[in-house]
Structure 1
Amino acid sequence: MSGTQYIPHILYSTALTSISMHLLWQRKTADEDRARFKAQTSILQELVEQLRSGKPISDEEITKSRNLACIHGEGKQSPDKDRTNIGWTDVLWGRKTPADLGVSDEWERKDLEQIRKEIEAES
């Protein structure tokens, strides 16, 4: 029973590692967001300065600048966010996406078709 004395230490170290990884992920996400917003702000400020200066700017250039500044995928939800319940079987074995199931069904159909052709050829 000498091994049981280490269980609290293992749990504490696991919890601390998990918290530190979560905080690191939060910091990286915040840095990426900050950099993206700075880039958008600089693009839009440059566009504003060009418009205020009175230089002729083509509609195409304005559209390009606006497209660079807009957030891609805004308002769209990723497929991973649709399913929030993750079971242990998903953790251990992974999830089957509809695309994976369709591909395997297609391969099975092709295999069955090939076997059917071989049987017909032997007959």
Structure 2
Amino acid sequence: MSGTQYIPHIIYSTAVTSISMHLLWQRKTADEDRARFKAQASILQDLIEQLRSGKSISDEEITKSRNLARIHGEDKRPLDKEKTDIGWMDVLWGRKTPADLGVSDEWERKDLEQIRKEFEAER
């Protein structure tokens, strides 16, 4: 009986810890994005200054600068709405990745094969 009085505190502390870890991850992601965009802007500003000054720049240098400034995954299709939504169950229990689902499907397939073999052996 005495242990049940601590259950709400355990739940609250777990929730607060989960939320704080999520916010920390969001802050680090924002910092990385900010640094990447700052670097891209710097590269493009240097290219603009070189072009405005009238210096001769080869197409190869322009291509290199544009590739450095390009956002990774720019050519890919946008993320699905399902993947960007994070529910409370995902926050508390985590999200299954396609790799995890593939592993469980493999185990299920092996179990079904084993059951089928045992069933055929009984006949």
Which residue does 1:47 correspond to in 2? Answer: 47
**Distance across 2 between alignment mates of 1:9 and 1:44:** 52
**Distance across 2 between alignment mates of 1:77 and 1:2:** 55
Question: 1:76 offset after TM fit, Å?
Answer: 2.2
Q: What's the TM-score once normalised by structure 2's chain length?
A: 0.66
| Greater C-alpha radius of gyration | 1
Q: Write the deviation string for residues 15-43 of structure 1: whole angstroms up to 9, x where unpaired.
A: 00001001001100100100010000000
Of 80, 92, 102, which aligns to 1:96? 102
Indicate whether 1:71 and 2:77 are aligned.
no
Could you say what secondary structure the match of 2:101 adopts?
coil
Q: What's the TM-score once normalised by structure 1's chain length?
A: 0.66
**Distance across 1 between alignment mates of 2:37 and 2:75:** 17
Task: Structure 2 unaligned segments of length 5 or more: list them.
Answer: 84-88, 107-123
Percent of pairs with identical residues: 74
Question: 1:7 offset after TM fit, Å?
Answer: 0.1
**Distance across 2 between alignment mates of 1:27 and 1:38:** 16
Q: Cα–Cα, structure 1 residues 66 and 14, in superposed 2: closer, same or farther, change >3 Å?
A: same
Question: 1:77 offset after TM fit, Å?
Answer: 5.2
Task: Structure 1 unaligned segments of length 5 or more: list them.
Answer: 102-123
Could you say what secondary structure the match of 1:96 adopts?
helix
Moved over 4 A (4+): 81-84
RMSD: 3.2
Q: Write the deviation string for residues 72-95 of structure 1: whole angstroms up to 9, x where unpaired.
A: 21252599x6975x998x85xx32
* 1:45 maps to amino acid: Q
**Distance across 1 between alignment mates of 2:18 and 2:42:** 36
Structure possessing the higher relative contact order (Cα contacts under 8 Å, 6 or more residues apart)? 2
* 1:15 maps to amino acid: A
